[in-house]
Structure 1
């Protein structure tokens, strides 16, 4: 008999530069699944060479950036979730250090099962502990009430700020923020 769901959750870990092929696969999946959620197009991502994917993975593991992935399968041969935390404007010392949550994704078969909660909790902890960020900011589409509720459940609040949504400037992207302990 299988163990509890917690024992079956994919393993959350840091992206490594050597994970470039898995990163490529999940990024293409992300863009195909939810094209309006990301600034990059699926066609542009498909045009990248293996060398470009290797450089991208290396950059996503560099200073001021933490990329968390959830790998599924016994051998970790597939990423089924990803969240990235990057320092926002590290030169601006006039205000507390902020980080941004970007590239949020959980594959359809893992949605609603707790993986997004685990990834976000890990992202908040890493932002505070490893990047020394005091606040974590994100942008969410004004019509995505499900995502807004998810982030509110994790302590994020709308700031009152918004900006044009990159893929449809007739829509707005709401800015949400959470204080990191």
Structure 2
């Protein structure tokens, strides 16, 4: 199947909501996301509109989707790029030392895995991030038990930095930082 990889549009909140809910029902969701299906399902439409609008403008965040060509436009995957500014605090309260990007909310539907969708999404996200002024590093965090995701990140070129934070859902576990630097 062919895919179009593109940024989400602000008015596509219903499709973004559906894909996010599918991601949160995935068996790996407890390792991959800080949000639960029940919490996301309970959010009103205004929450989803705002979330997608923020991820569509491309100044502080940009969401890329893999839209199946010839499948009624169904979205089979997504990744969000967050722009982190030097001097700001990240999600974990740590100071950001330099302008950089972080990949979050990575998901590919099970039936699309192994088809190149994840690689295409990451290629678009990383290319966009490295095109931003001053961004020479893209990072992400991976749960220490999420071997499948870690394997993909390594294959794509991400390496461990040695940094880790307690997992917000289970502080006895660690989320390990990985990065990709622009050559």
TM-score class normalised by the smaller sequence: 0.7 to 0.9
Unaligned runs of 5+ in 2: 89-94
Unaligned runs of 5+ in 1: 1-7
**Alignment CA distance shift 1:20-1:94 (3 Å):** closer
8 Å CA contact 2:7–2:63 kept in 1: the answer is yes
Q: CA deviation at 1:153?
A: 1.6
- Within 5 A, what are the aligned runs for 1:153-172? 153-172=155-174
TM-score (norm. length: structure 2): 0.87
TM-score (norm. length: structure 1): 0.88
Q: CA deviation at 1:178?
A: 0.8
What corresponds to 2:74 in structure 1?
78
Which piece of structure 1 moves more, 59-68 or 135-144? 59-68
Q: Name the SS of the counterpart of 1:143 in structure 2.
A: coil
Which piece of structure 1 moves more, 102-111 or 55-64? 55-64
Q: Is 2:58 aligned against 1:56?
A: no
What corresponds to 1:107 in structure 2?
109
- What RMSD in Å do the two structures reach over aligned CA positions? 2.0
> Matched residues in 2 for 1:74 and 1:131: separation?
36
Out of 18, 22, 30, the residue aligned to residue 25 of structure 1 is: 18
> Matched residues in 2 for 1:150 and 1:94: separation?
25
**Alignment CA distance shift 1:131-1:165 (3 Å):** farther
8 Å CA contact 1:38–1:103 kept in 2: the answer is yes
Q: Is 2:15 aligned against 1:13?
A: no
Give deviations 1:78-131, integer Å, cap 9, x for gaps. 211000111123445994421111000000000011111111111110111146
> Matched residues in 1 for 2:133 and 2:43: separation?
29
Which piece of structure 1 moves more, 32-41 or 90-99? 90-99
Which piece of structure 1 moves more, 115-124 or 88-97? 88-97
8 Å CA contact 1:156–1:176 kept in 2: the answer is yes
8 Å CA contact 1:64–1:131 kept in 2: the answer is no
